[in-house]
Copies of this chain bind each other. A is one copy, B any other.
């Protein structure tokens, strides 16, 4: 893939067309991300000490499925079956979740909040370079849910009262970012069309590097919101 001429803004100026082959990949990786998140949340809700916590998590999981359905529809409109499209991304996303399997309720909450944030940062930046119709789908499925307020309160309360909990969750957050970047790079290396789309969206390789730096800054801010 040829590097684009660097744009001063860090993104290319004309939007990436809706029929760019990378768009299918983008929708597909988002869709499998939603399904994975649904099942992870449902599974991790078992760690909740209260029924209230379980219900809050069930609502978050439900929001992920609504996003999945948006992507399934968007892919169907492109004449693509969502299951066929998702297949290439199963391995990397499953690997991310397997390598960041929470062992406590708080780890699970931090993973939900931080993982969702990392993904949203990445896709929001890409969306800025996409055809408006495509960008709308991407932004819809990334829409912040009010449920994350629940997470912030739970985590802040726990880390305020326990220094060791705070230290442990700080390391956990760092690991989440590392694993997310590792798997994102793996996906890019495997999927030329998606990699091409990301390169076009960010301008060039320097643009990608700058994007990852901005993502690290946002990650640090999110950790601060959690009191970490």
**Which residues of A are at the interface with B, using a C-beta cutoff of 8 A?**
35, 38-39, 42-43, 45, 51-52, 54-55, 58-59, 61-62, 65-66, 68-69, 83, 86, 90
CB distance from A95 to the nearest CB of B (A): 16
CB distance from A100 to the nearest CB of B (A): 19
* A61 & B90 in contact (Cβ 8 Å cutoff): no
CB distance from A41 to the nearest CB of B (A): 8
* B54 & A35 in contact (Cβ 8 Å cutoff): yes
CB distance from A74 to the nearest CB of B (A): 15
Integer count of this chain's copies in the complex: 2
Name the contact of A58 in the complex, choosing from B38, B45, B83 (C-beta under 8 A).
B38
Closest to A90 in B: B51
Interface of A, secondary structure class, is helix
| A42-B43, A51-B83, A62-B66 given; 20 more Cβ-contact pairs under 8 Å | A35-B54, A35-B55, A35-B58, A38-B42, A39-B42, A39-B54, A39-B58, A42-B42, A43-B43, A51-B90, A52-B83, A55-B68, A55-B83, A58-B65, A58-B68, A59-B65, A59-B69, A61-B61, A61-B62, A62-B65
Name the contact of A45 in the complex, choosing from B39, B54, B86, B90 (C-beta under 8 A).
B39
Closest to A32 in B: B51
Which of A43, A58, A68 counts the most chain B CB atoms within 10 A? A58
Residues on B with C-beta less than 8 A from A42 are 38-39, 42-43, 61
CB distance from A166 to the nearest CB of B (A): 29
